[in-house]
Amino acid sequence: MSRKEIGVFLLLVALCAIVAAASPQFLSAANLQNVGRLVGTYGIFSIGVGIVIITGGIDLSVGSICALLGVLLSMMLVEWGWPAPVALAAVVALGGGLGAAHGLLVARLRLQPFIVTLCGLLLYRGAARYVAGDSTKGFGTGEGFEWARALASGSVAGVPMPFVVMCVVAFLAWVLLHRSVYGRHLFAIGHNAEAARYSGVDTRAVIAWAYVLSGILAAVSAILIAFYTNSISPASHGNFYELYAIAAAVVGGCSLRGGEGSVLGIVMGAALLQVLRNLVNLLDIPGSLDFAVMGAVILIGAIADQLFGRRLRRGAG
């Protein structure tokens, strides 16, 4: 593990220890399963956003994509009677398609990623509300696609399925980022896009694919979250998810300037955020303080990293 990863790991362990000490309920099977399920669903789209952040870009659209695709998934299955495999494939393809649109606008037309995906955030939220007629969608009793719902609510040997799915996604992403030619090019572009271009790297394709991956992973999360909540209100479903993802990536060692980050770090960052939310729950802190606690802890972490990191660099120099 790199220095950053070790830092996040220690922070995560310390936090778990504190919560466990303060509330024995933390280590109960039910609570751990619950946290694991959330880490799984949030972790998947956080990895996608992290990949985009490594190119030096940003993806603000994942929350709205979750809402739009959740609404569509419900309508496909319940209202239009599509077979579940077709509906799932269509949702993932749609996610990839939206990502491809972002990627082309960023890489081909050289629009700023912030603007492109901010417009995505607004567009897809509006589209979700319009398509759903602003009414809450769900899956009813879910006859005919029980297996699909089991992806979200089931578990394997006590481990919640979303967590298992995330582990698979994380492993594939780890291979892609840290062992493949594509991953090398991704980091090269994040560090120095000019030098990468001068070295013959197809920078536009690499960047565009990062957004496609983010879109696909947002779609996978969207499926899990939709099935899990079984109630998708288009105006609020997925709100702030893009910020969870960015926070997870940054806490996990990604630099918003690009070129830095790791899959392991992002996953641990996502876990850290969920443990913090759990802490608010278990320690009877008013739920309204939820975001404030997360903001405070991340800020303290960033300050500590800056001070500690600076001393480390000085020590080395």
DSSP three-state, residue 65: helix
User: Looking at beta carbons only, is 3 or 179 nearer to other proteins?
Assistant: 179
Instruction: Name the strand (E) or helix (H) holding 159.
Output: strand 159-160
Sign of the torsion angle spanned by Cα atoms 280, 138, 270, 57: negative
Sign of the torsion angle spanned by Cα atoms 229, 232, 236, 237: positive
Name the minimum Å distance from CB 201 to other proteins. 7
Contact between 209 and other proteins by CB under 8 A: the answer reads no
Question: For strand 155-156 and strand 159-160, is the pairing parallel, antiparallel, or unpaired?
Answer: antiparallel
Query: Which residues between 254 and 313 bind other proteins (CB under 8 A)?
Result: 259-260
Contact between 108 and other proteins by CB under 8 A: the answer reads no
What is the rounded CA–CA span in Å between residue 222 and residue 136?
A: 15
Contact between 184 and other proteins by CB under 8 A: the answer reads yes
Contact between 180 and other proteins by CB under 8 A: the answer reads yes
Contact between 187 and other proteins by CB under 8 A: the answer reads yes
Longest dimension (CA), the chain: 65
What is the rounded CA–CA span in Å between residue 96 and residue 39?
A: 22
Name the minimum Å distance from CB 197 to other proteins. 6
Query: Which residues between 119 and 138 bind other proteins (CB under 8 A)?
Result: none
User: Looking at beta carbons only, is 129 or 191 nearer to other proteins?
Assistant: 191
Name the minimum Å distance from CB 39 to other proteins. 27
What is the rounded CA–CA span in Å between residue 56 and residue 259?
A: 7
Stretch that binds other proteins, among 22-30, 86-94, 150-158, 196-204 (CB under 8 A): 196-204
Q: Residue 172 corresponds to which amino acid? A: L
User: Looking at beta carbons only, is 196 or 219 nearer to other proteins?
Assistant: 196
User: Looking at beta carbons only, is 129 or 197 nearer to other proteins?
Assistant: 197
Region at 151 (left for phi over 0; alpha for psi -120 to 50; beta for the rest): alpha
Bridge partners of 137? 232
Name the minimum Å distance from CB 31 to other proteins. 39
Contact between 195 and other proteins by CB under 8 A: the answer reads yes
Residue numbers at the binding site for other proteins (CB under 8 A) = 175, 179-182, 184-185, 187-188, 191-192, 194-202, 259-260
